[in-house]
């Protein structure tokens, strides 16, 4: 074998190895069931327009209550059900994020809408896996988040959900401790939200499945991580 041919084979092998490296992922993240594939560059483009600095108009009128919704019924929520703080901060490898009063990283959902008005489309099993950041008065304590960008959207059950630049905010029950962001790129639709409301694409793991909804008689901690054997959830 000529030296030139041997050199070409070595270079080719190195390129192939680079292409099979797993994508950026949080600590403890597993690519099981996803083939370890790195998302194509096209998925790393955020088409969300820059925030205008004006608060998103809250929908007028109350929607009819959805009997299938698992959210809290309209009325004053307990302190345990309310997201009382929104803090813009940074976490390792991901960078800019928004966390609640307990340090849980918050997310936004591509199936929602923020213009011309905020719309939330996560309900049923979806909201069991992605609990909404609920509020009584729409006035959480803010740190590192522009008050002009914070608003609310009325959920199908009549409860109020916090928004940033019109994007509804959620927590992910697959995160097992504050500061984790295992919900990043779940289903190719869920992303860590930045203090501006944009989705953070600094670190983009391969698309993964969400954890299963918790059983009716169990807490959130009973949910299992998604994997090759999980159902093909649409949320």
Q: What is the pLDDT along the chain (235 residues), one digit of tens a residue?
A: 655 555 555 445 444 444 333 457 655 554 443 333 333 333 333 433 333 344 334 434 433 334 334 445 556 888 889 999 999 999 999 999 999 999 999 999 999 999 999 999 999 999 999 999 999 999 999 999 999 999 999 999 999 999 999 999 999 999 999 999 999 999 999 999 999 999 999 999 999 999 999 987 555 544 445 443 344 455 6
Where is 10: in which H helix or E strand?
A: helix 3-19
Task: Give one DSSP letter per residue of 67-89, joined into a string.
Answer: TT--SPPSSPPPGGGB--EEEEE
Query: CB-hemisphere CA count at 13 Å for 157?
Result: 19
105 within some domain: yes
Look at residue 27 in the predicted model and tell me its pLDDT. Answer: 56
> Could you tell me the residue range of the domain that residue 59 belongs to?
22-214
**What is the pLDDT, as a whole number, of residue 99?**
98
Q: Count of domains in the chain? A: 1
Q: Which residues are paired to 3 by β-bridges?
A: none
- Is 38 within a domain? yes
Does residue 178 have a cis peptide bond before it, meaning omega lies within 30 degrees of 0? no
Q: How far is 162 from 159, CA to CA, in rounded Å? A: 10
Cβ–Cβ < 8 Å for 199, 124:
no
In a domain, 226, yes or no: no
H/E run at residue 159 = none
Q: Are 105 and 83 in contact (CB under 8 A)?
A: no
* Whether the Cβ atoms of residue 145 and residue 195 lie closer than 8 Å to each other: yes
pLDDT of residue 218: 55
**In the Cβ-directed half-sphere of 129, how many Cα atoms lie within 13 Å?**
23
Q: What is the pLDDT of residue 188?
A: 97
Note whether residue 14 is domain-resident. no
Does 54 reside within a domain?
yes
Q: pLDDT value at position 34?
A: 37
Q: What is the pLDDT of residue 158?
A: 94
pLDDT of residue 3: 57
Bridge partners of 141, per DSSP, are: 85
- Look at residue 157 and tell me if it is in a domain: yes
Q: Establish if 158 belongs to a structural domain.
A: yes
- Among 27, 70, 216, 45, residue whose Cα is nearest residue 157: 70
Integer Cα distance of 110 and 151 in angstroms: 18
In this prediction, residue 77 carries a pLDDT of 87
Look at residue 151 in the predicted model and tell me its pLDDT.
97
């Amino acid at each position: 074998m000529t030296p030139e041919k041997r050199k070409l084979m070595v270079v080719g092998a190195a390129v192939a190895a680079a292409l099979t490296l797993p994508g950026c992922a949080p600590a403890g993240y597993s690519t099981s069931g996803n083939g370890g594939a790195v998302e194509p560059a096209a998925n790393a483009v955020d088409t969300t327009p820059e925030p205008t600095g004006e608060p998103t108009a809250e929908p007028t009128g109350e929607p009819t209550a959805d009997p299938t919704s698992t959210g809290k019924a309209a009325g004053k929520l307990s302190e345990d059900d309310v997201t009382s703080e929104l803090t813009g901060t940074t976490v390792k490898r991901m960078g800019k994020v928004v966390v609640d009063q307990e340090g849980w990283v918050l997310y936004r959902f591509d199936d929602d809408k923020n213009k011309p008005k905020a719309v939330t489309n996560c309900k049923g099993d979806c909201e069991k896996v992605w609990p909404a950041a609920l509020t009584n008065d729409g006035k959480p304590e803010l740190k590192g988040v522009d008050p002009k960008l914070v608003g609310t959207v009325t959920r199908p059950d009549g409860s109020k959900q916090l928004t940033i630049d019109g994007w509804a905010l959620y927590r992910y029950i697959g995160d097992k401790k504050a500061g984790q962001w295992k919900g990043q790129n779940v289903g190719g639709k869920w992303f860590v939200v930045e203090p501006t409301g944009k989705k953070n694409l600094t670190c983009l793991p391969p698309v993964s499945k969400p954890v299963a909804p918790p059983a009716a008689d169990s807490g959130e901690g009973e949910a299992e991580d998604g994997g090759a054997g999980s159902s093909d959830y649409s949320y």
